[in-house]
A and B are shown apart, each in its own frame.
Chain A
């Protein structure tokens, strides 16, 4: 435990430590506020009032209505709910879905299920070396029977930022499809663009909230079949006893993330430049993340040291980073995101991902640079 606390954590794209403010609120809430918010007694209605206030606060931050905020167990559920729920509820209008080649696994797999088992068709837009899609190709892919377009705001492995506003405008102009955006890596990192978006997924634990907290924003006029049916929670759209404390503290985490976003963005931009300017002196080193990608996610490759070895070496020095998407670490294959941007398998196997947040400090970045160079120049034996 101590070792972890003393180390330097640079894997915020996987998850984040709790914000102090969230921890404080949780410590007060957890022992007292155990009631089910749907119970009619005093503790229950108190809980319901707090949860409703959280919903309101989130709606205010996202610029939507209270009832358009659906609490989920996280972004994987939010993505599944939006994609399967909207696709199944609208299949009479068409069965065609458009997405990109570098979406998060939870989006990819949800769509694959729809294609494999429910007769949907999917167009997967290819990306260039920076991870960008061709907007003309997007326009051409839209059909009369396209019912859903799902695009992430920021890629979780290489940080590519998709122009959500422009994409939404194209989707709305050339089709009747609903627009879903996976905002997980954008919340608190870059400015949100929710104008005319029909559904958007958010995760609490990536911004210092509790694990098991997520939100799906879904416009009130968007038909969606609930994945979890049962009780009246979340207006029958997501049944199951509410995880009220996670939901309440998510509102706080989201407020803090959005408030600190402009400042953290400036800091992260500086850190990314710092890392790149130091590392590019190393022969053979390459930054995989594009220049205009999110500064919070820096993917880099040094072909002579395979990722797993680099990870272990940094780990021994108390610096924690990732290789690829943490949701795919158990599969032996190379990352499909790396394949999509045309990275060779060899190169892909040497990629590490450094991810930052508002909690990162200047010293953390410097320590990483020093340790990374040490491993490269002096080997990793301690």
Chain B
């Protein structure tokens, strides 16, 4: 009799996709799960028709479960005992598992795919329930049980599980190709990245740094945030684009109220160039309508004018409180609120225009040598690869 749950059952999300897409979906999900499992060397990933199984082996099962909860494309996950096809083993496994739960109500549900198994589903239910009723204080509730004991009779083995937890849902990351995220280091852009991942988009990030007006700590903050985001996609390519010269030029040549608008137009131009180089199909921003002056519909349209690439705005209709809630859930909030200046906050005018006009923006920009500025910035761009499983010097402290 095994004493530790030894297998994780992964069930797929969004299986409304069919045919060839379905196959692609499952292959991508399996690859993503395998990538996560690299951090757990002894575990093995197995694919069945409608499930993926992760054999825990010598790994820490709850850590592995935690990691898999961050993988998009998974509907639900259960930590299960894989036991031989014998009723006594099934009963023992169910009994061991339920004792770890707080005493409440339960129900046994059996799926008997293997019709050769001598007992019928209902007989299995009764046999398992009998032992639990006799030896614990659990009571049966078939309508609203607190704990569901699931028994799956398959062809070569049976699976027994008690707690089914929710997966991250959505599509496997990468299935929709890549997009370029404008990442400030604030709360919103990280949430935008997470939500894009959720729909299967792989994210590359671009960050605008304005040294010496922004500090190394501000850059570190972005690196730390990207590190957190690698929980949801295995690695992130972060482009750090120097922005000081452009900002100085804007500050010298553009009236104060239009500086933000023009600055945002430059950011989008730079992002588009990089996106094209990196074969990204869209840009992503953390904008939410009306949140600040540059995020009114008028501003968006003036800023949007510089690119033909679609700009995805996953947060467009979210309230700030909703965004903060997600940021806390995904683990970026505490880093995002570290109080460092980013390039947007330093040159913030007292009264930015909320309804900029395109022709005015264009007229102000005509004083600048846009092409040269962009070329120079891109030439000095630094690329950092951030991986979830990076080995670091500090690992030896732990």
Chain A interface (Cβ within 8 Å of chain B)? 24-25, 28-29, 40-42, 45, 49-50, 53-54, 57, 60, 63, 169, 172-173, 195-196, 248-249, 251-252, 255
The A-contacting residues of B in range 196-239, CB under 8 angstroms, are 216-217, 220-221, 224
Chain B interface (Cβ within 8 Å of chain A)? 60, 62-63, 100, 102-103, 137, 216-217, 220-221, 224, 338-340, 394, 396-398
Asked if A248 and B217 make an inter-chain contact with CB atoms under 8 angstroms apart, the answer reads no
Between B60, B224, B394, the greatest number of chain A beta carbons within 10 A of the residue's beta carbon is seen for: B394
* Complex Cα gap A63–B63 (Å): 9
CB contacts (< 8 Å) of B396 on chain A: these are 24-25, 28
* Complex Cα gap A337–B62 (Å): 38
* Complex Cα gap A92–B217 (Å): 45
CB contacts (< 8 Å) of B137 on chain A: these are 173
With known contacts A40-B339, A40-B340, A173–B103 Cβ distance under 8 A:
yes
Name which residue of chain A comes closest to B224, CB basis. A49
Q: Which 10 A-B pairs have the closest CB atoms?
A: A25-B397, A252-B398, A42-B217, A251-B398, A248-B397, A57-B398, A42-B216, A45-B217, A60-B63, A196-B102
Known: A40-B338, A40-B339, A50-B394. 16 other contacts (CB 8 A): A25-B397, A28-B397, A29-B397, A41-B217, A42-B216, A45-B221, A53-B394, A53-B398, A57-B398, A60-B60, A172-B102, A195-B102, A196-B102, A248-B398, A252-B397, A255-B398
The majority secondary structure among interface residues of chain A is helix
Name which residue of chain A comes closest to B100, CB basis. A195
CB contacts (< 8 Å) of A28 on chain B: these are 396-397
* Complex Cα gap A28–B100 (Å): 41
Name which residue of chain B comes closest to A25, CB basis. B397
* Complex Cα gap A160–B390 (Å): 44
* Complex Cα gap A12–B56 (Å): 35
With known contacts A40-B338, A60-B63, A196-B102, A50–B397 Cβ distance under 8 A:
yes
State how many angstroms separate the Cβ of A54 from the closest Cβ of chain B: 7
* Complex Cα gap A195–B62 (Å): 14
* Complex Cα gap A382–B103 (Å): 61
CB contacts (< 8 Å) of A169 on chain B: these are 103
Asked if B397 and A42 make an inter-chain contact with CB atoms under 8 angstroms apart, the answer reads no
State how many angstroms separate the Cβ of B266 from the closest Cβ of chain A: 28
* Complex Cα gap A251–B398 (Å): 6
State how many angstroms separate the Cβ of A198 from the closest Cβ of chain B: 13
CB contacts (< 8 Å) of A50 on chain B: these are 394, 397
* Complex Cα gap A50–B220 (Å): 14
State how many angstroms separate the Cβ of B273 from the closest Cβ of chain A: 31
State how many angstroms separate the Cβ of A290 from the closest Cβ of chain B: 25
Asked if A45 and B397 make an inter-chain contact with CB atoms under 8 angstroms apart, the answer reads no
Name which residue of chain B comes closest to A173, CB basis. B103
* Complex Cα gap A24–B102 (Å): 42
Asked if A42 and B220 make an inter-chain contact with CB atoms under 8 angstroms apart, the answer reads yes
CB contacts (< 8 Å) of A41 on chain B: these are 217
* Complex Cα gap A195–B13 (Å): 31
* Complex Cα gap A255–B397 (Å): 11
State how many angstroms separate the Cβ of A123 from the closest Cβ of chain B: 24
CB contacts (< 8 Å) of B102 on chain A: these are 172, 195-196
State how many angstroms separate the Cβ of B22 from the closest Cβ of chain A: 35
Asked if B103 and A40 make an inter-chain contact with CB atoms under 8 angstroms apart, the answer reads no
* Complex Cα gap A249–B396 (Å): 10
CB contacts (< 8 Å) of B221 on chain A: these are 45
State how many angstroms separate the Cβ of B295 from the closest Cβ of chain A: 28
* Complex Cα gap A167–B215 (Å): 54
* Complex Cα gap A54–B398 (Å): 7
Cβ contacts A to B, 7 pairs, < 8 Å: A25-B396, A28-B397, A40-B339, A53-B398, A172-B102, A173-B103, A252-B397
CB contacts (< 8 Å) of A45 on chain B: these are 217, 220-221, 338
Asked if B62 and A63 make an inter-chain contact with CB atoms under 8 angstroms apart, the answer reads yes
CB contacts (< 8 Å) of B397 on chain A: these are 25, 28-29, 50, 248-249, 252
* Complex Cα gap A53–B60 (Å): 18
